[in-house]
Amino acid sequence: MYIAMNRFRIPPENEQEFRERWLGREVHLRTVPGFVSFQFLKGPTHEDYILYASHTVWESYEAFVGWTQSEQFRAAHAHAGNRKPLMAGPPVFEGFEVLQNIEN
């Protein structure tokens, strides 16, 4: 398994619009081979930003790479540069190989 995460620092004045943009978007992940699950996360609030993260679980690193090269990926990110920027800086990507997975 492979976990792909993006961290976003969102100024408080942009939080509502950022959340609406994420929660109201069309989801393309379900149609991609190797997709397991997705979580949209809200983290701690700091003085000048609120931390958010996207957390996507893939069957493998190869499945994740396949997503990044897919038509679904292009469709999901088609308008990313055309809208008002809501983040304090670019997103920070982190990728993790799962070494242990314990489920209930």
The SS3 of residue 21 is helix
Q: How far is CA 98 from the centre of its chain?
A: 17
Interatomic CA distance for residues 14 and 45, integer angstroms? 13
Q: pLDDT of 42-80, one tens digit each?
A: 999 999 999 999 999 999 999 999 999 988 888 877 766
> How confident is the prediction for the chain on average, in pLDDT?
92
The domains located in the chain, with CATH, are 2-97 (3.30.70.100)
Q: What is the pTM of this model?
A: 0.87
Q: What are phi and psi of 16, to 5 degrees?
A: -60, -45
Residue entry with tokens 């397991």: 36
pLDDT band of 28, cuts 50, 70, 90: confident
